[in-house]
Structure formats: structure tokens, C-alpha cells
Amino acid sequence: MSDQTGFRRNGTRGLALALGVAVVGVLAPASPASAAVPGLVRISATSASNSSDFRSVTATCPVGKVLVGTGYEITGATGEVVVDDFTPNGGTLTAPTAVTVGAYEADAFAGNWTVTAYAICANPLAGLVRVSALSPTDSNDFHSVTAACPTGKVLTGAGFELTGVTGEGVVDDFRPNGGTVNAPTAVTVGAYEADSFVDNWTAAAYAICANPVAGLSRITVLSAIDSGDFRSVVAACPTGKVLTGGGFEVNGATGEAVVDDFTPNGGVATAPVLVVSGAYEEDPFAGNWDIRSFAICADR
């Protein structure tokens, strides 16, 4: 007859006790902790290359995944093209699954150029939604608006949209809040008129929000401050973290610098861990300016 441990009294346990050896249970190896944002990948889509005034492209997450962050890249225009449509889909009750990037030539430009949209995608996250906020509609030179996540949710990524300016507006503030120990919960979008523009226009901010995500924080890296024509800076997540989204901020240029590179790394089978933010002067500008790159990072 077996005792309560399932060992026979004259078996291994009995022998160990007789020899005065303690019996220690062998624990199974612990399962690895679940990723805070499982299945994270970066998807890209690139428009046609030509010299048309306007270009638009949509990057869509694979079936079964949702959009947690965004990115874009203009190639071939070196400051002559502005992004005024950087819009995740979804809504207050619907998880986003794609991002559309639309860009106009700021001035007549004869060369060929392309726009690339980047979608940072993951397995479904609890509570994922997209919220938006709209600035006043007027003809002021500057517009600013903040989209905040619902109470109890955090910001994983963001987007923006300018309406009514068709290439005359420049977003130079696309700034998630938060910090190295605080999860972001909102994004502020600020935009200037690139040239004098008399019509009314608006700026929209889009926040991609989810239930709390383990280790979520915002990393900030600042470029050099000078009067050079081009500036670029990389914000990388700390070791052991992955990138869900990001942002940028241009200081000192007040609409004279165009961010045409906001590119997360990664790929269709690789989680992103950094974002590159690069900007050109749209017209010659003698003042000093800089660009900040923001990375939103979560535990791997």
C-alpha cells in the first residue's frame, strides 16, 4: 500500500529517511514571463515613386493582429514634402489595425519621391482603442491639441491629421507625455503654417490606448542644436524592452523644419526596439534648432 506521497514505504523515500537524507521536491523550470506586448512586429507599405503633388499609402496589420504604434518615411524629397495625414483607423470602441500616411509637396518639386507607412502590430491587447481630439478651426499660424487616453489606460502609439492646409502646415510637435518611470497617457500635436495661409484649418491628435502594459515608459533623446540644414536622432529602448510607438519634437524652427523620417526599426518577424527621427529645413533658416526623438517602450 502506498502512503500519501505515492512512494512505497520500503522504496526510495523510506531509504532516504533511514539514511537521514532530507527529501527535497524537484521544481519544474519556471515558464518564461509573458511578453507585455506579445507578437510585436513592424509592417511597412510604400507608395508609387513619381513627381505628383500628393501621395498616400496604408500599412495594415496581419490578420489577427492590432495596431499599437505608427511610423512614416519620406524618401527623395529632402524637406520639400510635408506629412499632413498620419491616421490610425479604429475608434473609441474599436481596436486600430492600420495607419494611413498622406503627404503633399510644400513647394513645387520636380523630383520623384515616395512615402512609406509603418505599422507596429501585436497580438490583441486588452482594452485597445483609438481616441481623437480636434483643435479649433481658424486661420491662426499655430494650432495645438492633446488627445488623452481614457482614465486607467496608457498610450502605446499615436497619430495626427491636418485638415484644410494641403501642404501648407508643418507638424513639429508630436509629443507623448510620460517619462523613464511613468507610462505615457496622452499625445500633444502642434503645427505651424509653413507659409502664410489665409484659410481656416485644424489639427487632430490620435492616441492609441490600452489597459496598463508592463514596463511602459517614454525615452527621450535630443539631437545637436545648431543651424545645419538636416538633423537626425535615434531613441532606443533600454535592454530588455521593445518599441510600441514614439514621437518627435522640433524646437526653434517654428514651422521651418520638416520631419520626413519617423522610422521604427524591426520587420515582419522582428520586434522594433528604436525609432529614428530626422528633419530638414523646408526653406533656408539661419537660427539654431534641434529635434527630440521619443520612444515608447514596454517590457519584452
Distance set, CA 271 to CA 37, 76, 102, 178 (Å): 10, 27, 25, 22
End-to-end CA distance of the chain: 50
What would the DSSP string read from start to end of 53-107?
SEEEEEEEPPTT-EEEEEEEEEES-TTSEEEEEEEE--BTTB---EEEEEEEESS
pLDDT above 70: residue 16: no
pLDDT above 50: residue 38: yes
SS3 call for 173: strand
SS3 call for 40: coil
Say which CATH topology domain 41-299 has: Jelly Rolls (2.60.120)
Using one digit for the tens of pLDDT, what is the confidence trace for 75-118?
Answer: 999 999 999 999 999 999 999 999 999 999 998 888 999 999 99
pLDDT above 50: residue 30: no
SS3 call for 14: helix
Give the range among 23-37, 146-160, 273-287 with minimum mean pLDDT: 23-37
pLDDT above 70: residue 1: no
pLDDT of residue 197: 84
Single-letter amino acid, residue 226: D
Edge-to-edge order in the sheet of strand 66-75: 41-46, 114-122, 66-75, 257-264, 274-281, 230-236
Mean pLDDT for the chain? 90
For residues 218 and 103, give the distance between their C-alpha atoms in angstroms, rounded to a whole number: 27
What does the pLDDT average to over 222-236? 96
pLDDT above 50: residue 12: no
Single-letter amino acid, residue 64: G
For residues 26 and 12, give the distance between their C-alpha atoms in angstroms, rounded to a whole number: 15
pLDDT of residue 228: 94
pLDDT above 90: residue 27: no
pTM, full prediction: 0.88
Return the exposure string of 180-211: e unless at least 16 CB atoms fall within 10 Å of the residue's CB, then b.
eeebbbbbbbbbbbbeebeeebbbbbbbbbbe
Distance set, CA 111 to CA 36, 49, 50, 76, 77 (Å): 43, 10, 7, 7, 7
Q: What are the φ/ψ torsions at residue 180 (nearest 5 degrees)? A: -70, -20
Q: How confident is the model at residue 35 (pLDDT cuts 50, 70, 90)?
A: confident
Closest CA to 264 of 280, 249, 277: 277
- Tell me, rounded to whole angstroms, the distance of Cα 156 from its chain centroid: 7
Where are the domains positioned within the chain?
Answer: 41-299
pLDDT above 80: residue 32: no
Using one digit for the tens of pLDDT, what is the confidence trace for 158-213?
Answer: 999 999 999 999 999 999 999 999 999 999 999 999 888 889 999 999 999 999 99
Return the exposure string of 277-296: e unless at least 16 CB atoms fall within 10 Å of the residue's CB, then b.
bbbbbbeebeeebbbbbbbb
pLDDT above 90: residue 280: yes
What does the pLDDT average to over 132-142? 97
For residues 203 and 72, give the distance between their C-alpha atoms in angstroms, rounded to a whole number: 18
Distance set, CA 265 to CA 143, 169, 218, 241 (Å): 30, 27, 17, 14
Q: How confident is the model at residue 271 (pLDDT cuts 50, 70, 90)?
A: very high
